Structure 1
Amino acid sequence: MTDVLADKRTATRFRVLVEIADRQPAVSQGEIADAVGVTTQAVSEYIRDLVDDGLVEKEGRSRYRVTKEGVDWLLRTADDVRRYADRVTEDVLGSVHEDAAIALDDVESGDAVTLTMRDGLLHADPDGNGSASGVATTDAAAGEDVGVTGFEGIIDLEPGRVTVYQIPPVRTGGSGAVDLDALRDAASSSDLVLAAGVEAVVALRRVERPPAVTFAVGEVAAAAAGRGLDVVVVATADTVGRVTDPLRDADARYEVADLG
């Protein structure tokens, strides 16, 4: 469990610091006490400890400001809480809901199945062995969709990598300035090819690898990499940021290269 949830005092300390950051520099200890659910005296003690630890600085009577160290601690702790919540949602609560998978062989309702991720899609194998399993809730022939519940274990999955290839916009050459041989090689070795910008679409068409998606490319690439796919994104120089921002937010593995 993340440290901030390990004990009540640490959790309250986190909440008090959040309230100070939200209200600074004029901080009402009474308002913080009401928001957090503790006494005003307790808030005063927490603030004194935060000042002593260098996370908050006092600027005057009832005036406080979160320090750089305090901001860093808040960000790290909030990230820990987010990751813990994601694990609860995916690994714990995920076991109580039903999902769909592609049957690798004939399956009957009630059969135990092994779960794997292939081509970014969940597959159920009644005869397989693996670290993740579930129970079929419907009948299905091989290749059909089957309902699965009672999830246990963690699917053995290596996250994919995203390579963003930057190409010039049309005003500086567009698809005509792209090394098509290099683009062809890059596209042929990937599981999924995406394009951001008209120039990118045209360049991929020229190597006979039309993109699967041309909108919300960063979000799609991040989701695909999270399901184990290696992704190539071709993007014009002025759209690269809109691709990499969602990748960074999703903690996806990615790199940017130049094809121009």
Structure 2
Amino acid sequence: MGSSEDPSEATAPRVLDNRRDATRYRVLVEIAARQPAVSQEEIADVIGVTSQAVSDYVRDLIDGGFVEKRGRGRYEVTKEGVDWIITRTDALSEFVSRVSDDVLGSVDVDAAVAVGTVAEGDEVGLEMRDGTLHAVPGGGSATAVVVTGGEAGEAVGVTDFEGVVEYNPGVVTVVPVPAVTEGDPPPHDTIREHAAGAELVAVGGTEAYALATRADVRPDVRFGSAAGVSQAALRGLDVLLLVSTDELSRHTTRLREDGVRYEVRDSFER
């Protein structure tokens, strides 16, 4: 008799068929991780079963040719046991991947800031503002459906995305700041002028932070600046990056790898 199951559906591997199979798999994995000196009591504590149960599973694995006993408290997983672990682990990995793609992927929910009051089931427009996704009542060129409502300024959940959120990626202006052994920092008014034209200011390195502070420029990003600057620009923000010369290469490499547009300005150039 043919199976009535849909072949496109994610089917759980045999190791998940029942609790005994799953526990057998876990015991064998624990033996492999601890061999040759194996404490059945430790395995019992990790798995959450009795020591007697572990002893029964170990005996079963030995009878099945998956484990060999080398002496008191000493065990070794055989080639057949390793192959069994690999095939079951591969099946588990494939199953998890299919669940993630086919099940969880179909119910993706993202967060957006509500521009006005929205309720569950409302269709909203999606816009990128200040580098953050916003939900606009009434729809737009890119739309989504609200799954958790809220008032203006609150984070709401949206799903069922359609269209493309239109916005232009930002540009990063990189101003190198000489290291303490390399010379004088650029003038404060130059830094203030650069900052006035940016939507976000980031600093990389102690010299850059000190310069920004002395120029009365408050940095928005002080730590993790290489990743933060890249993400901000990709979300549409123009960024000023003050970075000490010994940190310059690391930051520009990250920008190139992420495909972010940037320009390196002379420290004294306005």
TM-score in same-fold range (> 0.5)? yes
AA aligned opposite 1:236: S
User: Runs of 5+ in structure 1 lacking a partner?
Assistant: 1-92
Distance (Å, rounded) in 1 between the aligned partners of 2:222 and 2:135:
31
RMSD value, Cα: 1.6
User: Runs of 5+ in structure 2 lacking a partner?
Assistant: 1-103
Within the alignment, does 1:181 sit opposite 2:207 as a pair? no
Distance (Å, rounded) in 1 between the aligned partners of 2:138 and 2:153:
15
Residue matched to 1:123: 134
Residue matched to 1:194: 202
Distance (Å, rounded) in 1 between the aligned partners of 2:133 and 2:262:
23
SS of equivalent residue, structure 1 residue 247: helix
Distance (Å, rounded) in 2 between the aligned partners of 1:100 and 1:216:
23
Within the alignment, does 1:216 sit opposite 2:227 as a pair? no
Structure (1 or 2) with the larger CA radius of gyration: 2
Within the alignment, does 1:229 sit opposite 2:215 as a pair? no
Residue matched to 2:172: 162
Per-residue deviation at 1:217?
1.4
Aligned residues: 165
Pairing 1:14-33 to 2, within 5 Å after superposition: none
Residue matched to 2:255: 247
Q: After TM superposition, what 4+ stretches of structure 1 lie above 4 angstroms from structure 2? A: 93-96
C-alpha offsets along residues 80-126 of structure 1, whole Å, 9 cap, x if unaligned?
xxxxxxxxxxxxx9774100100000000000000000011010011
Pairing 1:79-158 to 2, within 5 Å after superposition: 96-129=107-140, 131-158=141-168
Say if 1:107 and 1:204 are closer, same or farther in 2 by CA, change over 3 A. Answer: same
AA aligned opposite 1:169: A
Per-residue deviation at 1:252?
0.5
Q: Identity across aligned pairs (percent)?
A: 44
Say if 1:142 and 1:217 are closer, same or farther in 2 by CA, change over 3 A. Answer: same
AA aligned opposite 1:110: G
C-alpha offsets along residues 119-173 of structure 1, whole Å, 9 cap, x if unaligned?
11010011243x2100000120111111000011110010000111011111123
Distance (Å, rounded) in 1 between the aligned partners of 2:214 and 2:106:
46
* Contact 1:169–1:238 (Cα < 8 Å) also in 2: yes
